[in-house]
Amino acid sequence: MSFFPASLETLIDKFASLPGIGRKSAQRLAFHVLALPDEEARSFADAIVDAKTHVHTCRICQNLTEDEICSICASDRRDKGTICVVSEPRDVLSIERGREYNGTYHVLHGVLSPMNHVGPDDIRIKELLNRIASEDVEEVIMATNPDTEGEATAMYISRLLKPFQLKVTRLAYGIPVGSNLEFADDATLNRAIEGRTEMF
Amino acid sequence: MSFFPASLETLIDKFASLPGIGRKSAQRLAFHVLALPDEEARSFADAIVDAKTHVHTCRICQNLTEDEICSICASDRRDKGTICVVSEPRDVLSIERGREYNGTYHVLHGVLSPMNHVGPDDIRIKELLNRIASEDVEEVIMATNPDTEGEATAMYISRLLKPFQLKVTRLAYGIPVGSNLEFADDATLNRAIEGRTEMF
């Protein structure tokens, strides 16, 4: 049953096709867009086309960029000997937010997931291997998510990296800073005990 | 801090400006759009411009339509003597879904809300009065939401309608069908008792 004009229905459908947006939310968003001034609605539409046209992946690290090489790979203040392997572009943002890490990144654009038919050729592993073969890399930090798929992906890639004889590390597991032992789950607590460090 | 390309940041900003979409969700939506095939991303953008260009309000009932007069006002199977006054276009959808009501609608596009500086001239009350003055209307059903603002709006309009000497009704209050008395709030239960009807 459709009581909305066709072009409005189409817009609602488009919003509803986005992840995490149900039919009701899509309606609300479409009504909001309809209520925008003409110019703003058009600039929303332009933003979609612009991003789609200008954004592509960095030739080196596969992160999103508008240039051939992203700002991190292009910077001469970053340590090119360390590569932090993450699954998504947003993970780069998370690590950069800490202002601690000074190496470069490699964005896989996914994780291995046999259930979803994502195999090694579907994510940017080949590009990582080419990079390690041609650049002077000392350490690769596996920073995929600490879940089953992220774990398996880190394991898979670390095996591929073995022949290169470089340092391959994994992000530390443990209790989050500022959290409460009471609410930590068993797996995390066990990992925190296993990975305990000497205080002096 | 921005580590995303400018055009991607712009797109994230656009999504984040939508109601109920936070920064993180906006990122997720923008990444989703980036991952769409070119054609689909463009058709999303087109849908925004199309809806904005083609959708306007019905000359008679102020509901959204692509034509001069909406399909309900244009239909000769609807009872033109009854007008159901709702605040938003989506409310028309809700009532139509019941397949019971056969009259026409009038969409106010808002409710009176002194807190948000929405006065009688900001919603389509004038259009309703013109319509009642020129058409042969027998009954006006006030179907604004049963909240403070919807209530006040219904009250305000019903007073304006008094001189026209027609039947002005309000949607019934009571316990929702299929619900449980245990979970009904006091106000609703009181209204349900006040509005009780004879069974035989």
Q: Residue B109 has which token pair?
A: 């596009």
Q: What is the pLDDT of residue A109?
A: 93
Q: What is the mean pLDDT of residues A30-36?
A: 91
B14 Cβ under 8 Å from any chain A Cβ? yes
pLDDT-derived band at A2, boundaries 50, 70, 90: low
pLDDT tens digits for range B100-158 = 889 999 999 999 999 999 999 999 999 999 999 998 999 999 999 888 899 899 999 99
Which residues of chain B does A28 touch, with a Cβ-Cβ cutoff of 8 Å?
19-20
Sign of CA dihedral B97, A19, A65, B11: positive
Query: Can you give the pLDDT at residue A183?
Result: 79
Nearest-CA distance from B103 to chain A in Å?
15
Is the pLDDT assigned to residue B19 strictly greater than 70?
A: yes
Range A20-32 average pLDDT? 92
Q: What is the pLDDT of residue B79?
A: 93
User: Residue B147's pLDDT is what?
Assistant: 87
pLDDT tens profile B174-193: 888 877 777 778 888 888 88
Mean pLDDT value across residues A148-175: 90
> Among partner residues A5, A19, A55, which is closest to B64 by beta-carbon distance?
A5
- Pair type for strands A167-170 and A79-86: unpaired
Confidence of residue A49 (pLDDT cuts 50, 70, 90): very high
Mean pLDDT of B74-88: 93
Residues in chain A closer than 8 A to B20 (CB atoms) = 25, 28-29
Give chain B positions within 8 Å (CB) of A4. 64, 89, 93
**Would you call A47 and B20 a contact, using CB atoms and an 8 Å cutoff?**
no
Assign B83 to helix, strand or coil.
strand
- pLDDT tier, A1 (very low <50, low <70, confident <90, very high otherwise): very low
Whether chain B has a CB inside 8 Å of the CB on A3: the answer is: yes
ipTM confidence: 0.74
Percent of chain A exceeding pLDDT 90 equals 62
Tell me whether A10 touches chain B (CB under 8 Å). Answer: yes
* Shortest CA distance from A14: residue in chain B: B44
Q: Are B94 and B116 in contact (CB under 8 A)?
A: no
Long-range contacts from B126-133, C-beta under 8 angstroms, 24+ separation = B127/B62, B128/B83, B128/B85, B128/B157, B129/B160, B129/B161, B131/B60, B131/B61, B131/B83, B131/B106, B132/B83, B132/B161, B132/B164, B132/B166, B133/B164
Is B29's CB within 8 Å of A38's CB? no
Assess B74–A contact: CB distance below 8 Å, yes or no.
no
A64 and B97: CB-CB below 8 Å?
no
Does B1 have pLDDT greater than 60?
no
Contact status, residue B16 vs residue B22, Cβ threshold 8 Å: yes
Rg (CA), chain B: 22
Write down the pLDDT at residue A196.
80
Residue pair A166/A132 in contact by the 8 Å Cβ criterion: yes
Which tokens sit at B145? 């939401």
CA distance B178 to chain A (A): 22
Structure tokens given for B24: 């993180």
What is the rounded average pLDDT of the residues A171-192?
A: 81
User: How far is Cα B59 from Cα B134, in angstroms, rounded to an integer?
Assistant: 14
Instruction: Name the A residues in 75-134 with CB < 8 Å from any B CB.
Output: 88-90, 92-93, 96-97
Whole-number mean pLDDT of chain A?
89
Q: Please list, in sequence order, all residues whose beta carbon lies within 8 angstroms of the beta carbon of residue A153, skipping any fewer than 6 positions away.
A: A87, A108, A111, A112, A123, A144
Phi (first) and psi of residue A60, to 5 degrees: -90, -60
Give backbone dihedrals phi and psi of B87, rounded to 5 degrees, phi first.
-90, -35
Tell me the mean pLDDT in the region A16-40.
Answer: 92
For chain B, what is the mean pLDDT? Answer: 89
Longest Cα–Cα distance of chain A, Å, equals 71
Instruction: Please work out, in degrees rounded to the nearest 5, the angle formed at the alpha carbon of residue A153 by the alpha carbons of A149 and A156.
Output: 135
CB contact under 8 A, B64 and A25: no
Helix residue ranges per DSSP H, chain B: 6-16, 23-35, 38-54, 71-74, 89-97, 125-134, 148-161, 186-194
pLDDT digits 0-9 by tens, B34-55: 989 999 999 999 999 999 999 9
> Could you give the percent of chain A with pLDDT greater than 70?
98
Q: Work out the average pLDDT over A167-183.
A: 83
Give the range among A184-198, B33-47, B92-106 with minimum mean pLDDT. A184-198
Q: What is the pLDDT of residue A172?
A: 84
Per-residue pLDDT, averaged over A109-126, amounts to: 93
CA B178, CA A193: separation in Å to the nearest integer? 52
Cα gap B67→B74, rounded to integer Å: 10
Q: Of A3, A28, A65, which is closest to B5 when you measure between CB atoms?
A: A65
